[in-house]
Amino acid sequence: MALSPKKLLHSKWTAIKPQNREKHFIVIKVLQDETDPQIVSEVTLEAVLSNRHQTLHWRNLSDETLWKAGWL
């Protein structure tokens, strides 16, 4: 699946291998490159169940062994 960095904010994701019963996530923050604000470097996800945050490289969301777009 092709990801558009401009459409990441508030997008919904499902973890393929949930940990601590955290399966559903929302992108709450998109971090841009310091030298070029047009380039996305990382995203912060919030678990719907626990409100726990995790930050990862935005392209990790395209790994279908870890994430699926939407809530399944």
Token pair for residue 37? 């604000």
pLDDT tens digit at each of 72 positions of the chain: 567 777 899 999 999 999 999 999 999 999 988 888 788 889 999 999 999 999 999 889 999 999 999 998
- Using the structure block, give the residue that is written with the tokens 């719907």: 48
- Using the structure block, give the residue that is written with the tokens 């870890």: 66
Q: How much is the pTM? A: 0.88
The per-residue pLDDT for 14 is 98
The residue ranges of every structural domain in the chain are 11-69
CA–CA gap between residue 1 and residue 65 (Å, rounded): 12
The per-residue pLDDT for 28 is 97
